[in-house]
Chains A and B, each alone.
Chain A
Amino acid sequence: MAQMLVKLNVNGIEREVLVDPDDRLLDVLRDEFGYKSVKEGCGTGDCGLCTVLMDGKPVLSCIVPAFQAKNHKIVTLEGLNNDPLMKKIQDQFRAHQAAQCGFCTPAMEIMGWHLLNKKKEPNKQEIKEAISGTLCRCTGYYDIIDAIYDAGRPE
């Protein structure tokens, strides 16, 4: 298989990487860039744990071939760790014990951040809809919903 050189922009860093045509964006983000917050829960686009932002929109990085990400801006949780809103979300996740095993946490936080950027003070139904593509097996979602809800309220 012919490898190709692709220029990717991830968390504001531009880098050229050598990829196979069947390399997934998920693996390139984890292995080439070292962004391990991007998780694989299924590999088939069903669980949402590999969610990253592409030009500001959530995409499932396990079903995006890496080469297709060129000319797009990719953001992972690592790229948002210094963002004030993300910090607020993370604080609320801790306050509500919304991270149990923690494996879905980065994707949940990204979906929460994406929602709160679109809509200030969303109600719980809107939060449920926003995270409905992201699976969690530990919490039953309630503490996650509450964490995002509280992060969306003024202090």
Chain B
Amino acid sequence: MNVQTAEEFLTEIQKKAERGELLYIGKELKRIDDLEKVLGSPIYTNDLIPRNTLYARLVLSKYPHAIIKNISVSKAINYPGVRYVLTHKDVPGLNESSTIIPDRPLFAFNKVRSTGDIIAAVIAEKPNRAQEAAELVEVEYEQLKPVFDPVEAMKPDAPKIHDDGNIIKHVKVRKGDVEKGFQQADYIIENTFRTQHQDAAPMETETAFAVQRGEKILIIGSMQTPHHVQAAVAKVLGWTLDRIEVIQAVTGGAFGPKSDEPPYDVASIAALGAIKTGKPVLMSMTREESMIAHTKRHPAIITHKTGVKADGKLTASKVQIVLDGGAYASLGVLVIVRATFHANGPYEIPNVWNDGYKVYTNNTYTGSFRGFGAPQAIFAAESQMDEIAKKLNIDPLDLRLINMLRPGSKTSTGQLMDESCGLPECLDAVVKASDYRKKKKLYSKQDGKIRRGIGIAMLHHGNALGPEGNDYAYVHLSVEKSGKIHLGTGLTEFGTGAISGLAQIAASVLGVPIDYFTIDRPNTLVHHETGPTVASRVTVIGGNAARDAALKLKQKVLPVASKVMGCKVEDVQIVDGYVYCKEKKAKSLSWEELVKEAYEANIELNALGYYMAPSCKWDEETGLGSPYNQYTFGAAIAEVEVDTETGLYKVLNYYVAFDVGKAINPKSVRGQLYGGTVQGLGYAMMEELVHREGYVVNPNLKDYYIPTSLDIPEQIQTFIIEKQGSMGPFGAKIVAEPPVVLPGPTIRNAIMDAVGKGVNSLPITSEKVYKIIKG
């Protein structure tokens, strides 16, 4: 092996730097936060509790809609091992546990609106004692007439679930003249699509631990947004924020519900319990509690009416989306916004009329979940495309090629697509890889019992918050004397690797290898309030803040290097942990030496990075404008094999391409493509949290099926397309959520290709496939 001299090494990295090559961007670096995970170290909330901890269990409503006449805890409180029973009477501040609309009490007191409503929490020495005592809490109810169908709930004479009507939010898109568009059409196609309750089922349930420390309370928990949890607990306790320290423990999966209201519940209950008993309290939902009492993906009823010319050009699209919001508004108020803005799919359509409604029912409440309204909207839009293609007797691929968004086209809200629209490249990648045209022809000539089919779906996905709130982030960098760099932010990691990606971005700007970085645990008393960790926005919004922090830090160390090495500041370069002057390559410092010099020169080595996305402009009444700063694009193709005698089918191959602008860590991006696809496969094929008359029938992982390793296709071929966006660092776009969207419509369309008819509701069970074949 050739041993490189220091000078050769420096020449090499300098050449790389001159070529603009990024040393840590676009590289499949190892994550810097997973060593403890593979060792099984104690890092999750449940692992960190002291021995004298008490345990809380929930008492949930027995009815979906009822007046509470009386709550008696006397039997429960006297049960062996029980220390306290919390009810609404124990709330010193506001009995409220809500994100946007204050419609949900922490503890139900005058009425219950779903079987997921929390009435009390039993605190005991052991979890099973708490569980047994929870059964002894006596609640007297007077049942009210419930309503479970969201369309029924919209009618003026439907039972009222809250004081006002049941329509929580109505979102509109009005573009062009939709009636004129239908008149111009040669065909009008109308269909209704339905989707189901999906449970996020993160492997770790909602969990929080609390202990009182003097005037303060410390909360450690599993969550996406610690600062929101802090504010929620402050409201319940009636305390100021500075007395509430919330630390996000390593979080065992989240997927959305942990950004919504459930973490407020567990944190508030643990905090109240700790205050009442004087002992540390753990509120860790059982799987059953979680699957009943946390937010799920909204079921949707979506009607499409589309006008199309004989040549395949779309002239008009009218879409109505009704989301079953369950008993409370939650972040679902924003879910309907994203669903309505994406309702027509990634197509240029001159005339659009969309109505989106989020509606109260007496089902358990629904809210934030990976995709945030897009899985429902795109399932309907992309299924409708194949129905249109069938009517016109043209290839679904050609229909898409005629109408899809490209640079220069305009979305349903009239937003102009710039050069960063990589949808054509995504489609091309999966069409080529799957050999679509050839297989389509081949499969059209089948007549046996076992038939194959191939289907396409694609999407556009508005990046980050857009209409969902102020899109800002803080990232803090500070350097120890040893040279180690701490990255601290209120943004959180819950599996994706995005925070490790922030370190890659900061490393790249600073010129210091990622190994020097360590990620501090998010803490509300240490880190700035930095908005929610939702909408896959860490890389794009947090990434810009990380870049800003690294630039600021660099401005602090460059003058030190200049002084020590005796060259101009602008001639100092830091590459791969080495500091040198452009003209005097032989003389160099290591990062550690530079940091030591800075410490000795009394230079404070920390920097607060900040980024706020440009504000998005759109009209509330018409939806017209640019609700998002940039878009991610994706396309997928599935091949299925259907047994036409039984309806049994399997996905043979799956191809997926995403335009992610710039993959900061391609390995992590693929991890999201795989994981999102398989979660979407569950949504498409098997997952349904069944509600019967307001009761969850299958709140466990035995009867609620999530995909196992035997349910996944042989392989998923992934393609990363990079059409740099205008907003993210290095042109990055978001990626974590949208892969979950495509399996539903892709598989549906592939089955339609195989058997001639499509299933218009999720999940696509074999029974449904059998029925469309036979019926």
CB nearest neighbor in B for A124: B714
Chain A residues with CB below 8 A from B625, complex form: none
With A36-B41, A104-B203, A138-B675 known as contacts, the answer to whether A97 contacts B253 (CB < 8 A) is no
Asked if residues A137 and B706 are in contact (CB atoms below 8 Å), the reply is: yes
Q: A140 touches which one: B44, B126, B677 (CB < 8 A)?
A: B677
Within 8 Å CB of B715, what residues of A? 142
Nearest Cβ in chain B — how far from A77, in angstroms? 4
What is the chain B residue whose CB lies nearest that of A99?
B37
| B interface SS class | loop
For B674, give its contact among A102, A135, A139 (CB under 8 Å): A139
**Contacting residues, chain B, for A132 (C-beta < 8 A):** 708-710
The segment from B445-453, B494-502, B594-602 found at the interface with A is: B494-502
- Report if A141-B203 is in contact (Cβ < 8 Å); known contacts: A40-B46, A46-B700: no
> In the complex, which residue of chain A has the Cβ closest to the Cβ of B676?
A140
B679: interface (CB < 8 Å): yes
Which A residue's beta carbon lies closest to that of B200? A137
Given contacts A97-B497, A137-B706, contact A90 B38 (CB under 8 A): yes
Q: A44-B702, A105-B38 are in contact. Are A97 and B668 (CB under 8 A)?
A: yes
Cβ–Cβ < 8 Å partners of A129 in chain B: 709-710
A94 at the interface (CB under 8 A from B): yes
Interface contact B30-A95, CB-CB below 8 Å: yes
Interface string of A67-96 (1 = CB under 8 A from B): 000000000111001000000001001111
Do A103 and B128 touch across chains, with their CB atoms under 8 A apart? no
Q: Within 8 Å of chain B (Cβ to Cβ): is A106?
A: yes
CB nearest to A100 among chain B residues = B495
| Interface: A101 (CB within 8 A) | yes
Measured CB to CB, the nearest residue on chain B to A145 is: B709
Count of residues in A whose CB is under 8 Å from the partner chain: 53
Chain B residues in 8 Å Cβ range of A47: 203, 287, 701
Give Cα A101–Cα B43 distance, bound, in whole angstroms.
Answer: 11
B30 touching A103, Cβ below 8 Å: no
Whether A43 lies near B203 (C-beta < 8 A) is no
Q: Does B1 lie at the interface of the complex (its beta carbon under 8 Å from any beta carbon of A)?
A: no
Interface membership of B202, Cβ < 8 A:
yes
Interface size on B, residues (CB 8 A): 56
Interface string of B182-203 (1 = CB under 8 A from A): 0000000000000000001111
Give the tally of cross-chain contacts (CB within 8 A).
163
Residues of A within 8 A of B679 (CB): 137, 140
B285-322, CB under 8 A of A: which get 1 and which 0? 01100000000000000000000000000000000000
On chain B, the residues within 8 Å of A78 by CB distance are 40
- Is A77 a contact partner of B202 (Cβ separation < 8 A)? no
- Cα A33 to Cα B746 with chains together (Å): 49
**Separation of A42 and B204 alpha carbons in the complex (Å):** 9
B255 within 8 A of A: yes
A90 and B203: CB pair below 8 A?
no
A77 touching B40 in the complex, CB below 8 Å, given contacts A44-B700, A100-B671: yes
Question: Could you list some 24 contacts between A and B, CB below 8 A?
Answer: A30-B47, A36-B46, A42-B700, A44-B287, A46-B702, A49-B203, A81-B40, A93-B38, A94-B35, A97-B30, A99-B34, A100-B675, A101-B494, A102-B495, A105-B40, A109-B40, A128-B709, A128-B710, A134-B709, A137-B253, A138-B671, A140-B679, A141-B678, A142-B712
Interface residues of A (CB under 8 A from B): 20, 22, 30-31, 34, 36-37, 39-44, 46-47, 49, 76-78, 81, 90, 93-97, 99-106, 109, 127-129, 131-145
* Additional A-B contacts beyond A101-B494, A139-B671 (5; CB < 8 A): A41-B204, A93-B38, A97-B667, A132-B709, A137-B202
Closest 5 pairs (CB-CB, A-B): A37-B40, A102-B37, A140-B678, A103-B252, A101-B495
